[in-house]
Amino acid sequence: MSETSPSALTVLQEHELVLQQEVRRFADEQIRPLVHDADQQAKLPEEALKALFEMGLMGVEIPEELGGAGMEFFSAALVIEELARVDPAVAVVADVQNTLINNILLLKGNDAQKKEWCPRLAENTVGAFALSEADAGSDAFALKARAVADGDDYKISGNKMWITNGIEAGLYIVFANIDPDAGYKGITAFLVPRDAAGLTIGKKEDKLGIRASSTVELILEDVRVPRSAIIGEPGKGYKIAIEALNEGRIGIGAQMVGLAQGALDAAVSYAKERKQFGRSISEFQGVQFALAEMAIEVEAARLMVYNACRLRDGGKPFVQQAAMAKWFTAEVAERTASRAVDLFGGYGFSKDYPVEKFYRDAKIGKIYEGTAFMQLNTVAKNLLK
């Protein structure tokens, strides 16, 4: 496995480099042995989830006084990248937890909500982001889920689709409309615990890639929650969702960079070992050029993600850079994984080798947390302002 490139190292501070090395070691030793079976069984191994919590990788930005690691967003991106080098399915579990759920609580939650949920999210509770519906994908605010006031409570009803971490979650951030006549300005975010009466898990999706990451339908039938379950202000859920997804797209970018690096590592290793015509295929210039082009693109993608992270942590505008990074890294991940399969030849088409899975896993990068088309739309709008 190749080491991080020298140019990438120049943008890492010492504590970040230590974190990167620790997570890389963890992923190789504790996650890699589980990857094949987890993919085949389409199930996240309990030992993998337990290990993520024990390593402190599910509460990267949560302050130490609330049980977390007290690090920055950039650190969360490094964690996601290193996990994805080994298994993008495990990486997305930590991604959603850190870049969506934890961030929403930290940025929009009140003191009581943080005190109740942040220690649990850092220690043993998985969170899920419940926004999408059957008719609300790219048009995320065409929500049909409703929340009706009932005394001091709200009753939430509706069906949510494509909910990542849905099976493992102990907490859902559910978006529902409290005032349909107000359109998207009625959308409100609610904290809904797994054991809430009326909440059930529906269909589990049988997916092309990241199969160990659960993706399910969430059914809410008059789920009663107190008014104190509202995150932020009533009717401001649309803003919470937009801001969270802008940050989440950087996390997806980190996942795609890690995936691409994992595919490149596998291709380099195989090229050194595979012999044809009496010599290693790594000696052929065509193979060397292919590997070089892959490495250049992966490095460019990585630095785009790192730049977006630095802007976010520095409190500077980052939406444009996040959209660019999300689009570009998804392109690079798919292209790198595809070329890795090519270099493996027939073996690359077999599930006995890792590049086949990287190729399947890469496709989702152009779809979730904002499709490739939506990222281009964002970039174009910002250019034309």
Residue with tokens 């250049």: 296
Output the furthest CA–CA distance in the chain (Å, rounded): 80
Say whether 2 sits in a helix, a strand or coil.
Answer: coil
Q: What is the Cα–Cα distance from 123 to 42, expressed in whole angstroms? A: 24
Identify the bridge partners of residue 174 per DSSP, sorted by sequence position: 130, 190
- Confidence tier at 7 by pLDDT (50, 70, 90): low
- What pLDDT is stored for residue 194 in this prediction? 98
Say whether 160 sits in a helix, a strand or coil.
Answer: strand
DSSP class of residue 224 equals E
- What pLDDT is stored for residue 8 in this prediction? 54
Q: What is the Cα–Cα distance from 103 to 129, expressed in whole angstroms? A: 11
Counts of helices then strands in the chain (DSSP H, E): 13, 10
Report percent pLDDT > 70 for the chain. 97
Residues 82/90, Cβ–Cβ less than 8 Å: no
Q: What is the Cα–Cα distance from 258 to 81, expressed in whole angstroms? A: 4
- What pLDDT is stored for residue 377 in this prediction? 97
Q: Where are the alpha helices (DSSP H) in the chain?
A: 6-9, 14-26, 35-41, 46-54, 73-86, 88-95, 103-108, 111-123, 237-273, 285-313, 319-344, 354-362, 372-384
- What pLDDT is stored for residue 140 in this prediction? 77
Structure-block tokens of residue 267: 């291709």
For 96-127, the pLDDT digits (tens) are 999 999 999 999 999 999 999 999 999 999 99
Cα–Cα distance list, 280 to 348, 350, 369 (Å): 17, 21, 41
For 267-304, the pLDDT digits (tens) are 999 999 999 999 999 999 999 999 999 999 999 999 99
**Mean pLDDT of the region 344-372:** 97
Report percent pLDDT > 90 for the chain. 94
Residue type for position 67: G
Query: 379: burial class by Cβ within 10 Å (0-12, 13-18, 19+)?
Result: middle
Query: 186: burial class by Cβ within 10 Å (0-12, 13-18, 19+)?
Result: buried
Cβ within 8 Å of residue 72, ≥6 positions away: 61, 313
- Of 61, 168, 299, 369, catalytic: 369
Q: What is the Cα–Cα distance from 364 to 239, expressed in whole angstroms? A: 25
Catalytic status, residue 369: yes
For 33-85, the pLDDT digits (tens) are 999 999 999 999 999 999 999 999 999 999 999 999 999 999 999 999 999 99
Strand bridging mode 275-276 / 230-231? unpaired
Cβ–Cβ contacts within 10 Å for residue 288, how many?
A: 13
Say whether 153 sits in a helix, a strand or coil.
Answer: strand
Strand bridging mode 146-150 / 153-164? antiparallel
- What pLDDT is stored for residue 1 in this prediction? 43
**Mean pLDDT of the region 135-151:** 91
pLDDT at 16 over 70: yes
Cβ–Cβ contacts within 10 Å for residue 87, how many?
A: 30
**Mean pLDDT of the region 227-256:** 97
> What is the average pLDDT score of the chain?
96
- Confidence tier at 13 by pLDDT (50, 70, 90): confident
Residues 23/82, Cβ–Cβ less than 8 Å: yes
Residue type for position 151: G
- Confidence tier at 11 by pLDDT (50, 70, 90): low
- Confidence tier at 5 by pLDDT (50, 70, 90): low
Residues 328/320, Cβ–Cβ less than 8 Å: no
Angle at 244 between CA 375 and CA 302, to 5 degrees: 55
- Confidence tier at 3 by pLDDT (50, 70, 90): low
Identify the bridge partners of residue 280 per DSSP, sorted by sequence position: 275
pLDDT at 9 over 80: no
Structural domains of the chain, with CATH: 6-126 (1.10.540.10), 128-235 (2.40.110.10), 239-384 (1.20.140.10)
Structure-block tokens of residue 217: 């339908």
